[in-house]
Amino acid sequence: MSALEFDPHGFPKSSGIFETIKTVEGAPIALGRHMRRALESALALEISIPDEEFIRTEMVRVLNENPHSVGRLRICFGQNLFHITHDAYVEQTEPATVNFYSQTVIGSIHKTFPYDDRFALIKAANDEGFHESILFNDKNEITETATANLAMLLSGEWVTPPISAGILPGVVRAIAIEECEVKVRNIHVSEIPEVESAFLLSSLRIAQPVSHIGDMKLKMGDASRALGSQIRAHSQPLSVG
């Protein structure tokens, strides 16, 4: 196979599925969950992936050759394509600010590349002075942001939109639901004024609190600290060898 070419964001100039995994001292977080999701997407999209032992061996090699105290492990699969990178990741220490994207965005249950459309959403948010934009579907239901799932505190209960609303089934979202009692239900845009607190959930951020939705300031009190601590406690890195 000829040498791979890459786009400005580091993805192969091709198409396929990918997983992005946070590492701490070379140990990935929730690796098993990521690989199960990749396998499900590969089966659904008819993408052949290498066997588990080969993937693990290559992963260990790349982690050892590119050590970082905190890293971003990216694994790409496509037709006749398998590529792993491990780069340094700078922790998000500040709360996120988000606005609303002005148009309906159709989400996907598969994590696919090219990823240009998602980077364009982030740039549009950044151009308006925000970190991310909240997206919504054609029913005016909240879905996700460009690169994260959402958890919102409404009427004293933490909730997250269902997959059926049009979202990526995120790994940390699954941890929040299965281990931290976050409930799944539709969230209509009309409910936004009632949101007390919120998190961006993603494999790199883990659980990043949201300080503002537009001009609306959110609370970052005991409820946020408790959920954030729970999610992080269930998102510990494990060595792959």
Determine the pLDDT at residue 188: 98
- Digit-coded pLDDT (tens) for 112-144: 999 999 999 999 999 999 999 999 999 999 999
Q: What angle do CA 114, 177, 95 make, to 5 degrees?
A: 65
**Strand 149-154 with 183-184, pairing:** unpaired
CATH 3.40.50.10740 fits 96-233, yes or no: no
Determine the pLDDT at residue 2: 55
* The CATH number of the domain covering residues in 16-88: 3.30.470.10
Determine the pLDDT at residue 106: 86
How far is residue 55's CA from residue 125's CA, in Å, rounded to a whole number? 36
**What string of pLDDT tens digits covers the 241 residues of the chain?**
457 999 999 999 999 999 999 999 999 999 999 999 999 999 999 999 999 999 999 999 999 999 999 999 999 999 999 999 999 999 989 999 999 999 999 899 999 999 999 999 999 999 999 999 999 999 999 999 999 999 999 999 999 999 999 999 999 999 999 999 999 999 999 999 999 999 999 999 999 999 999 999 999 999 999 999 999 999 999 999 7
**Strand 70-78 with 81-88, pairing:** antiparallel
Whether pTM exceeds 0.75? yes
Determine the pLDDT at residue 205: 97
- Digit-coded pLDDT (tens) for 149-178: 999 999 999 999 999 999 999 999 999 999
How far is residue 210's CA from residue 229's CA, in Å, rounded to a whole number? 15
Tokens at 121, concatenated: 């959403």
> In which residue are the tokens 């709360």 written?
95
> Which residues in the chain are classed under CATH 3.30.470.10?
16-88
Closest CA to 97 of 196, 212, 219: 212
**Peptide bond before 114: cis, by omega within 30 degrees of 0?**
yes
Q: Contact, 163 vs 177, CB < 8 A?
A: no
